[in-house]
């Protein structure tokens, strides 16, 4: 299952769909919606998020297992450094390994100060590179302390994230280099909204690999896409989310459409998002689609 996903990532087209478990003791409704829309037939795999914005949600590893059981497709489970020390990280990986949750997206995590839980403190023993190093150790049959396991884990497949934009592209290249150095198989970008930006990211990835890690197996870049169908979303992402650049022409088009009503605003935003998806598929058909569980939009983009 995972070997096929990695083969598609490296050699052909690759599309994964993000799912966000809710503030609920059940993930089944999300899975049912995906099944009803037949989204599983349109993607190569899924991902599950791990308490984004430090808000309490259903566990990403359990959600990944449920998705895999229902659709027999691989799921990339996110693990955040915010909530776990080295012991907890490795313990979770061991348990997940036996139930075949073996693709892991390593994140540093949003600040604990954003949490909806009183007096929450972040762990943050390190950034996401520590988790990538732990995965490398597991794949060598030992824990992070170098102690061999009695039963070696099945292979793990590490993923990482990187910003899609920076005023100084060299800083992005350094971040990509770091992910490659620590063993990421796939590097998923924050949402991309401009084809030239996407081309630059591909160039930076090539430079990062050749300059820092030519001896390592080259990581593949995956473009993140988050469809925008509202002016306020574009304005928020542009003004408040570091590492994302929403071009001025997107905002202007959505502003003009907004003045004509919500239906026109949605239509213009969707058309921009759909064209971006098609253009990125032609440029580099490795895409991770994020819709904040608005799965009808996901289907409309994918078909």
Residue 109 sits in a domain whose CATH number is 3.20.20.220
**Angle at Cα 288 formed by Cα 101 and Cα 285, nearest 5°?**
115
7-63: pLDDT as tens digits? 999 999 999 999 999 999 999 999 999 999 999 999 999 999 999 999 999 999 999
Instruction: Using the predicted structure, report yes or no on whether residue 280 has a pLDDT greater than 90.
Output: yes
Percentage of the chain exceeding pLDDT 70? 98
Interval 136-163 mean pLDDT: 97
pLDDT the model gives residue 66: 98
| 109 and 85 Cβ atoms separated by less than 8 Å | no
Distance CA 264, CA 12 (A): 36
222-265: pLDDT as tens digits? 999 999 999 999 999 988 888 899 999 999 999 999 999 999 99
Mean pLDDT, all residues of the chain: 95
pLDDT the model gives residue 212: 75
pLDDT the model gives residue 242: 85
Distance CA 43, CA 279 (A): 18
Q: How far apart, in Å, are the Cα atoms of 89 and each of 7, 94, 95, 198? A: 27, 9, 10, 33
Instruction: Using the predicted structure, report yes or no on whether residue 198 has a pLDDT greater than 90.
Output: yes
Interval 191-206 mean pLDDT: 95
Strand ranges, E, within the chain: 14-19, 45-48, 75-80, 103-107, 157-162, 186-191, 220-225, 286-289
**What total number of domains does the chain contain?**
1
Distance CA 262, CA 257 (A): 8
Instruction: Using the predicted structure, report yes or no on whether residue 99 has a pLDDT greater than 70.
Output: yes
Task: Tell whether pTM > 0.75.
Answer: yes
Q: Confidence class of residue 195 from pLDDT cuts 50, 70 and 90?
A: very high
Interval 143-166 mean pLDDT: 97
Distance CA 55, CA 117 (A): 7
What are phi and psi for residue 271, nearest 5 degrees? -60, -40
Instruction: Using the predicted structure, report yes or no on whether residue 214 has a pLDDT greater than 70.
Output: no
pLDDT the model gives residue 216: 66
Instruction: Using the predicted structure, report yes or no on whether residue 218 has a pLDDT greater than 90.
Output: no
Instruction: Using the predicted structure, report yes or no on whether residue 210 has a pLDDT greater than 90.
Output: no
Residue labelled with tokens 């930006």: 197
Interval 69-86 mean pLDDT: 97
Longest CA–CA separation in the chain, Å: 66
- With H, G, I as helix, E, B as strand and everything else as coil, classify residue 23: coil
pLDDT the model gives residue 134: 98
Q: What is the span of the domain harbouring residue 89?
A: 2-302
Instruction: Using the predicted structure, report yes or no on whether residue 148 has a pLDDT greater than 90.
Output: yes
b/e map 148-165, b = 16+ CB within 10 Å: eeeeebeebbbbbbbbbb
Q: Any idea what DSSP says for residue 229?
A: -
């Amino acid at each position: 299952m995972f070997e096929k996903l990695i083969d598609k990532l490296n050699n052909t087209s690759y599309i994964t769909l993000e799912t966000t478990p809710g503030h609920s003791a059940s993930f089944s409704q999300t899975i049912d919606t995906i099944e009803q829309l037949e989204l599983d037939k349109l993607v190569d795999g899924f991902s599950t998020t791990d308490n984004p914005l430090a808000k309490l949600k259903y566990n990403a590893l359990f959600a990944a297992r449920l998705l895999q059981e229902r659709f027999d497709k691989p799921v990339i489970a996110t693990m955040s450094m915010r909530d776990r020390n080295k012991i907890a990280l490795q313990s979770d990986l061991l348990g997940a390994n036996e139930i075949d949750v073996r693709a892991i997206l390593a994140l540093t995590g949003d600040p604990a100060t954003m949490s909806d839980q009183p007096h929450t403190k972040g762990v943050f023993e390190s950034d996401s590179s520590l988790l990538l190093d732990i995965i490398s150790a597991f794949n060598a049959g030992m824990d992070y302390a170098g102690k061999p396991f009695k039963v070696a884990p099945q292979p793990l497949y590490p993923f990482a994230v990187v910003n899609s934009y920076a005023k100084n592209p060299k800083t992005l290249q350094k971040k990509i280099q770091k992910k490659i150095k620590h063993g990421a198989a796939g590097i998923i970008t924050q949402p991309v909204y401009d084809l030239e930006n996407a081309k630059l990211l591909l160039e930076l990835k090539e430079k990062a690999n050749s300059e820092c890690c030519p001896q390592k197996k080259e990581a593949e870049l995956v473009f993140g896409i988050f469809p925008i169908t509202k002016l306020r979303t574009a304005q928020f992402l542009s003004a408040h989310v570091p590492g994302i650049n929403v071009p001025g022409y997107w905002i202007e088009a959505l502003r003009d459409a907004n003045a004509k009503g919500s239906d026109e605003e949605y239509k213009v935003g969707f058309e921009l998002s759909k064209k971006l998806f098609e253009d990125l598929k032609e440029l580099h058909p490795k895409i991770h689609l994020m819709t904040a569980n608005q799965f009808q939009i996901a289907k409309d983009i994918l078909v």
